A = this chain, B = another copy of it.
C-alpha cells in the first residue's frame, strides 16, 4: 500500500494508546474490513508533524479482497488527511521495512516572507540563507559515516553507520528544497543534518567544523532543531 499523509493531523506515525496516529487509524479501518485484527508494517516511522508524500506499508488479510476495493474503501473512510494512492498484491515474504533499500526525505524552508497558508507545510525561516555554502557543506555528509552525532536517540541503537547517496539543494523562488537520499536514517537524522546546513547558511558555523561534529560522536554541538512540519518522507525503494 502506498499512501500520503498530513503530519499535522496525527501524533506521529506509530501507534500509541489514546492518541490519533497514522498507523492507529489505518489499522482500525483495515481491521473493520477484515473483521479480525490487522497489523500494518510500514517502511519506517515518522515523527509528530512530519508528513509523508509516499509512505509504503504491507499487511495480511484473512480473505482475498480486490486491491482496488481496499483502496476505495480506505479513501472513503479516511476523512482526507491520509490518501491511499495504490494498493497491490506482493509475495508473502515481502516486508515493507526489512526489504526497503533506499529512502528519500525532503525538507522545505521558506526564506521569504511569512506565509500563513504554508506555515504547517514549509518551515517559516523567513530570512536569507547562503545556499552556495550549504551546498558545499552538504558534500561532507555523502557516503558512509557514523551518524551518532546526528541522532536524537543515541542510547538505544548499536550501529550508527548510514550511507547517504545524494543531497540536492534547490531554491525555487524563496523556497529551499533539500532532498536527501540514503539507505536508512536514524531518529531525527534528517532534521539534524538540515539544522547544521542552516547554521552554515546563516554563517554561524564554518564548514571546516562539520568533521569535528562527526568525530565527537555525541550531540555535544548544539544543532538547531528544525520543525517537523517542513519534513516529508518523499519516496521509498525496494529491491
**Cβ–Cβ contact A4 & B116, under 8 A:** yes
Which of the residues B80, B115, B119 comes within 8 Å of A119, measured between beta carbons? B80
Which of the residues B6, B75, B85, B114 comes within 8 Å of A75, measured between beta carbons? B114
**Cβ–Cβ contact B75 & A119, under 8 A:** no
**Cβ–Cβ contact B6 & A83, under 8 A:** no
Beta-carbon contacts under 8 Å, A15-59 to B? 51
Q: Using an 8 Å CB-CB cutoff, how does the interface string of A178-198 with B read, 1 for contact, 0 for none? A: 000000000000000000000
Question: B residues within 8 A CB of A117?
Answer: 4, 6, 51, 121
The complex places the Cα of A117 from the Cα of B64 at a distance, in Å, of: 32
The complex places the Cα of A83 from the Cα of B124 at a distance, in Å, of: 12
The complex places the Cα of A6 from the Cα of B114 at a distance, in Å, of: 12
> What interface size band does chain A fall in?
10 to 19
The complex places the Cα of A121 from the Cα of B6 at a distance, in Å, of: 13
Question: B residues within 8 A CB of A82?
Answer: 116
Is residue A113 contacting chain B, with contact meaning CB distance below 8 A?
Answer: yes
Is residue A5 contacting chain B, with contact meaning CB distance below 8 A?
Answer: yes
**Cβ–Cβ contact A116 & B6, under 8 A:** yes
The complex places the Cα of A115 from the Cα of B81 at a distance, in Å, of: 9
Question: B residues within 8 A CB of A121?
Answer: 117
**Cβ–Cβ contact B75 & A116, under 8 A:** no
Binding site for B on A (CB under 8 A): 4-6, 51, 75, 80-83, 85, 113-117, 119, 121
